[in-house]
Amino acid sequence: PQPMLIRFYSIAVCLVLAISAFAQRVDTDIRIFNKNIHSLKIAPVDKPYGVPIIALGSDEQLNVNFDLIDYDAHYLRYSITHCNADWQPSRLIDSEFVSGFNQADITDFAQSEGTFTHYFNYNFTFPNDDMQILKSGNYLLKVSEQDDPDNVLFQTRFSVCEHTVNVAVETTSRTDIDYNDAHQQVSFEVTYKPGTIQNPYQELKALVTQNSRTDNAVMVENPLMVGGNKVTYDHNPTLIFNAGNEYRRMETVNVNALNMGVSRIEYFEPYYHATVNPDQPRAATQYLYDQTQFGRFTIRNAEANDSHTQADYIITHFTLEPDDMLPKGKIYLQGEFTQGLSPSATQLRYEPESGTYTCDIMLKQGHYNYQYLFVPDGGKVGLTSYIEGDKYQTINEYLVKIYSHPMGERYDHFVGYGVAYSGK
């Protein structure tokens, strides 16, 4: 009886620890918690299409820009959290990764001018004199009310890199599962100075993303080969991505003229409404090249001097006309403009009378890339195969980030990254 009792307690303790570990996982996804926050964008200064990465110890800065739709200004501040490669908070305390106070007020904001939708545009750059970053790695940035720091309006991500390794990335449509068909495969080599990495098998891990998407990102921990001061990641089945298709494009830069991909823009108090040309599935069509920005958007009012404060908001109506019945699942709009939005805001709804799928989103005037992803019931990864199609010629942006966790350290160092474009 006594050994049985000990075994019971051991199992119970293990279960409690497992549940506790699971419960402690922190939500660090890009999130917009306040429905009045719109047009969130984070990018390197002077590189609006760049990924949010800066070099440690450099004068490089990131720019954060967003709108808060309201008649009154809100006084906001931001803070950052250091995270490991998996975007979970590291064991570092604030004073170890940031100098000064880990919070700063956002003082640069301006009211909208000449728009039907009243909003305040907020803008700030960092690191700055108030906040210097001391460690490489992933970071979660949170913006909250000054007088209520627990009231987080949104959170987004950026990274700080040491650049102590070189990363050479290649892509091919001649994959381990098909040849110039529906997939693209990523391979990469990491080179480093002698003595800087002791055990690559244990110290290194890589995070690979396609067009900055998070749903199909891949973490790789096992290289194919280590030799000299070079680590090779090749012929890895997890690095085979659905090729997808070129992003669709539309724009709403002028409410008084024709816009690309939009049939009409009309004003119905209190908003403008834009009807995007109905989209059809492209899975069965031939590949057609189009120059896109890999899902990104740009705010622009062609008739304004300052689009940040003079571009208006438009209820934008998307319609998808399916040619076949889809399996059980959900269809979502995807692009940089959907990052942080709740799934319900980007999910298309079925209209039985017309047999179409529709989605209405409030977007600021500008240029937008978008695509339709299908998520089967029970799945978490958006699939391009059902609606957009997978074309091996598609030009995708693949980002490979390399992290190192030396023995005895308490956090993952972000040591290097590389970018490659398929189809080029």
pLDDT of residue 2 exceeding 80, the answer is: no
Please write the tens of the pLDDT for every residue from 194-248. Answer: 989 999 999 999 999 999 999 999 999 999 999 889 999 999 999 999 999 999 9
| Residues 301 and 39 sit within 8 Å (Cβ to Cβ) | no
Q: Are residues 44 and 149 in the same domain?
A: yes
User: Which of 112, 139, 161 is where one domain is finished?
Assistant: 161
Please write the tens of the pLDDT for every residue from 264-282. Answer: 999 999 999 999 999 999 9
Judge whether 266 lies within some domain: yes
- The token pair at 65 is 């820009």
What per-residue string of b and e applies to 306-326 under the rule 16 or more CB within 10 Å gives b? ebbbbbbbbbbbbbbebeeee
The H-or-E segment that residue 9 falls in is helix 2-23
Q: Are residues 205 and 98 in the same domain?
A: no
Judge whether 57 lies within some domain: yes
Read off the CATH number of the domain in which 207 is found. Answer: 2.60.40.10
Residue 423 pLDDT class (50, 70, 90 cuts): confident
In whole angstroms, how far apart are CA 392 and each of 169, 241, 248, 255, 356?
18, 10, 17, 37, 28
In whole angstroms, how far apart are CA 128 and each of 64, 123, 132?
13, 13, 6
> What are the residues whose beta carbons fall under 8 Å from the beta carbon of 375, sequence distance 6 or more?
329, 330, 331, 332, 381, 382, 383
Q: Are residues 239 and 255 in the same domain?
A: no
Please write the tens of the pLDDT for every residue from 132-146. Answer: 999 999 999 999 999
Write out the residue range of the structural domain in which residue 353 sits: 248-376
Q: Are residues 253 and 368 in the same domain?
A: yes
DSSP code string of 42-100: EEETT-TTS-SEEETTSS--EEEEEEEESSS---EEEEEEEE-TTSSB-S--HHHHEES
Q: Are residues 91 and 154 in the same domain?
A: yes
Judge whether 385 lies within some domain: no
State residue 24's pLDDT score: 78
User: Which of 125, 142, 161 is where one domain is finished?
Assistant: 161
In sequence order, the β-bridge partners of residue 288 are none
- Rounded to the nearest integer, the mean pLDDT of the chain is 94
Judge whether 11 lies within some domain: no
Q: What angle do CA 329, 355, 268 make, to 5 degrees?
A: 105
Which residue is it, tokens 């956090």? 411
Judge whether 390 lies within some domain: no
Q: Are residues 279 and 352 in the same domain?
A: yes
Judge whether 74 lies within some domain: yes
Total structural domains within the chain: 3
Q: Are residues 238 and 210 in the same domain?
A: yes
Q: Are residues 195 and 104 in the same domain?
A: no
Please write the tens of the pLDDT for every residue from 246-268. Answer: 999 999 999 999 999 999 999 99
Judge whether 22 lies within some domain: no
Judge whether 414 lies within some domain: yes
